[in-house]
Amino acid sequence: MRAALLVAGTALAAVVSAAPTQAQDVAITNGRLVIGDGSGPLGNGTVLIRAGKVIAAGPAVVIPPGVKTIDAEGKWVTPGLVVAVTDLGLVDVGAVEDSNDSDADKSPFSAALDVSAAINPDDLPIQVSRAGGVTRAAVAPIGTSSIFGGQGAIIDLGADPNAVTVPRAFQYVELGETGARRAGGSRAATYAVLFNALTEARELTLAPAGPRRDDVLLTRRDAAALGAVVSGKQPLYVHVERASDIRMVLSLQRDFPLLKLIIVGAAEGWMVAGELARSGVPVLATPLTDLPNSFEQLGATQSNVGRMKAAGVKVSLGAFGDQPRYAPQYAGNLVGLAKVPGASGLSWGQAFAAISSGPAEALGMGDRFGSLRPGRAGDVVIWDGDPLEVSSGVVRVLIDGIEQPLGNHQTRLRERYSKPGEGALPKAYEW
């Protein structure tokens, strides 16, 4: 009982200290270092962080006097994971509608919706993902009554009130089967809606204060939001799976040359890998999809990412079901695939980059976070083994150089039920 109380006390302290103070100077020494830029693991190395940013990471880093050190004790030290397609911060429990802000299918607005207003930095999925080594995310609105989901935000997963790093970081549009359903029932309807919306947006950017045509379909707010997309100021996430849909998306740039496209999903991306590579459009692929679950992914194969990578596509990993903390497992599978005859996978370094610097670069944030190269945010994870291996776990997490609490509802339950049965008092008194 005493031990249980002590454990509980420690956890409480962790929760209380959850509001971090200020960006620190810290050096993490004696780690098996992963930079996250596509290179493989280095030997023993040090990461030096000052004012929350990486100054240097490598085998021969000199630690200035007075800098606090964390001894990684030979464990793996990596940049924090970046998950670029998620609903983190928008949902407590998916199936509890009142707690779920990922979808706004009854809103009169679509493209204008701004998820940064809805993000809750205290929500449990953020805490659990943080404990799984995820430090940055791009939160995507997935549904409205329109093909446009609204404007996503880039967040950090730090235990502080300031989750949003970049609000209105991208717009999200559903094409393919889902888009067709929302646009009126067919892909032809989808593209009509899309072309019209981008055209109305362009007209509004040319005459922001002037009167609009009398046959506009978009609200002024929605059209104004899409102005940032047509002018290339805001990237456009486009969810498509089918090869022909990917080709269609790539052709959008003929009519709207400033569009900054980011393709999400791309189950049949390998079938158009050459075109994707030539376009330079980044792809956030859903990894390991290998079943013809719909008629828009008949060609799905786990080798999709490996083949795209080999063809020169800027591909990294996107959605991981509802659990961003699965990212390393998915990446690890792609490494395993490289051993299977006839299959295409990734090297270890490529696979880790596909869940760190890759998605950061797709978001245009590669100089801000996603790797341990100098100047990036001091987001560091210490693992008790190979981070891509399923049996490994997270030991410590730093975001902007600040050590993060890893306790949450799950760890508290684990502590309570590590001792079976009830004691002198009910379990409810063990905390």
Partner 1 sequence: MASRLARGAALALVLVAVCGGAGHAKDKKDESPAVKAARDFDTNPYPSTYRAYPGGPTALIGATVYDGLGGRIERGTVLIADGKVMALGGPDLAVPDGFTRIDAAGKFVTPGIIDIHSHLGVYPSPGVEANSDGNEATAPTTPEVWAEHSVWPQDPGFSRAMANGGITSLEILPGSANLMGGRSVVLKNVYSRTVQGMKFPGAPYGLKMACGENPKRVYGSKGRIPSTRMGNFAVDRATWIKAKEYRAKREAGKLETRDLGMETLAGVLDGSILVQNHCYRADEMALVLDMAKEFGYHVSAFHHAIEAYKIGDLLKASDTCAAIWSDWWGFKMEAYDAIPENAGLLYKAGACVVIHSDDENGIQRLNQEAAKAQGDARRVGVEIADAEVIRWLTINPAKALGIDKQTGSLEAGKMGDVVLWNGNPLSVYSRPEKVWVDGALMFDSANRKRRAVSDFELGQPGEGDVK
Which of 283, 232, 285 is CA-nearest to residue 262? 283
Smallest CA-to-CA distance from 333 within 290, 297, 275 is with 290
Does residue 44 sit in helix, strand or coil? strand
Task: Scan residues 93-152 and list those touching partner 1 (CB under 8 A).
Answer: 93-96, 124-125, 128
The secondary structure element, H or E, covering residue 156 is strand 148-156
Of the residues 322, 367, 375, 423, which one makes contact with partner 1 according to CB under 8 A:
322
**Apex 262 CA angle, 401 and 281, nearest 5:** 110
Residue from 250, 234, 173, 238 nearest 364 by CA: 234
Q: Is 150 strand, coil or helix?
A: strand
Site residues for partner 1, 232-251, by CB under 8 A, read 243
To partner 1, the closest distance from the beta carbon of 92 in angstroms equals 8
Residues 255-274 close enough to bind partner 1 by CB under 8 A? 268, 271
Site membership for partner 1, residue 333 (CB under 8 A): yes
- The phi and psi torsions of 143 (rounded to 5 degrees) equal -150, 135
* Residue 195 vs 417, nearer CB to partner 1: 417
Which residue from 137, 225, 252, 300 is in contact with partner 1, where contact means CB under 8 A?
Answer: 300
Strand order in the sheet with 134-139: 81-86, 134-139, 148-156, 164-174, 236-240, 261-265, 283-285, 315-317
Number of residues forming the site for partner 1 (CB under 8 A): 55
Interaction between residue 420 and partner 1 (CB under 8 A): yes
Neighbours of 193 (CB within 10 A): 22
Q: What does the block give as tokens for 13?
A: 């302290």
Q: Does 336 bind partner 1 (CB under 8 A)?
A: yes
- Judged by CB under 8 A, the stretch of 24-32, 43-51, 197-205, 331-339 that binds partner 1 is 331-339
Interface pick for partner 1 out of 199, 234, 392, 404 (rule CB under 8 A): 392
Residue 176 to residue 17: CA distance in whole angstroms: 46
What span, in angstroms and rounded, lies between the C-alpha atoms of 179 and 192?
A: 11
When asked if residue 4 is in the footprint of partner 1 (CB under 8 A), the reply is no
Output the smallest distance, CB 314 to partner 1, in A: 23
| Pattern 39-78, partner 1, x by CB under 8 A | ----------------------------------------
For 154, the enclosing helix (H) or strand (E) is strand 148-156
Our CB check for partner 1 shows the closer of 115 and 272 to be 272
Binding partner 1 by CB under 8 A: which of 46, 78, 86, 302?
A: 302
Would you call 10 helix, strand, or coil by DSSP?
Answer: helix
Question: Does 288 engage in binding with partner 1 (CB under 8 A)?
Answer: yes
Q: Which residues bind partner 1 (CB under 8 A)?
A: 92-96, 124-125, 128, 243, 268, 271, 288-295, 298-303, 322-323, 329, 332-333, 335-337, 339-343, 384-385, 388-393, 409-411, 413-414, 417-418, 420-421
